Homo-oligomer: A and B are copies of this chain.
Amino acid sequence: MKIGFIGLGRMGAAMAANLVRAGHDVTVFNRSPEKRRALLELGAREAGSVADACHGEVIITMLADDTAVADVALAKYGIVESLARGAVAAPVFGRPDAAAAAKLFIVAAGDPSALAACQPLLDALGSKTLAIGTQPSAANLVKLSGNFLLAAVIEALGEAIALVDKAGIDRRAYVEVLSSTIFPAPAYKTYGGLIAEGSFQPAAFAAPLGFKDIGLALQAAESLRVPMPLASLLHDRFLRLLAQGGDSLDWSAIGGLAAQDAGAARTAGADGASRSRAVGDKRAQDR
């Protein structure tokens, strides 16, 4: 298919490459042009503007936030002006490694015939696509709720690890127990590992993006009048992380706040040399 692809960050670059490899005719656009090079070498075409990327049958955006989406969508010569109708929402679950491996989970909603037309693309990007209705907004709410559930896992693991750690139990062994018994889901292994190591950089999904999604979930909850106390707790955790300077950390860094509250100083690194501390301690050290 003829595809326009806008946004070549860690997720987007991996996904666009998969589409090229699957034989699609992909025209890419990114604000900073240096990111396009690898794609062009792989066989993608270059668009000089958003409008140039909108001549195909499908356009995919993989942008950091709604402002960025609005910019490319609503601008003069933007997506909305440049493309035909038939919207499908298909948010993805997965981190950059899953994007590279074409193992994203995709939740799609929209007109059934439009969905069917997009299926080959979705197959090139992910291992599974689940349809959740005909309203595109439903897919976005499911995506937001999924990120809420993942953030809840991070918070719960953060508290549990702070607890067993202070009791003298090995953090890594503990995460191994959890992820190989009652919680055989990648999220527990991935986030449990990051929290046990206290390793929140580089960010695969940055804290401000996690904060944004929890905020959007809470906005939807307010419109629908659904009190979500755990989402409120997560909101306050992210806000605190950002207030303390955590903008460049992975969103799993909220899982380090429980240890910070417990006054725990942590060490990481098998060699005993490298030293990682919980977020707040780290900052104290840096001052």
Contact = CB atoms under 8 A, between A and B. Distances in A.
Interface of A: 93, 105, 107, 128, 130, 132-133, 135, 138, 141-142, 145-146, 148-150, 152-153, 155-157, 159-160, 162-164, 166-170, 173-174, 176-178, 180-188, 215, 217, 220-222, 224-233, 235-237, 239-240, 242-245, 258, 261-264, 280, 284, 287
Contacts of A183: 149, 185, 187
Which residue of A146, A227, A231, A261 has the most chain B CB atoms within 10 A of its CB atom? A227
A217 B228 CA distance: 18
28 contacts: A93-B182, A105-B182, A107-B177, A128-B181, A135-B168, A142-B164, A148-B159, A150-B182, A152-B152, A153-B156, A159-B231, A162-B226, A163-B220, A163-B221, A163-B226, A182-B187, A184-B185, A185-B185, A225-B239, A225-B243, A225-B262, A226-B258, A227-B239, A229-B229, A232-B236, A240-B262, A244-B261, A245-B263
The majority secondary structure among interface residues of chain A is helix
B132 A145 contact: no
Contacts of A222: 215, 239
Contact of A178 (B149, B159, B163, B168): B149
Given A107-B181, A132-B169, 10 more contacts: A128-B180, A138-B168, A146-B178, A148-B156, A152-B230, A166-B225, A182-B187, A183-B185, A224-B262, A280-B280
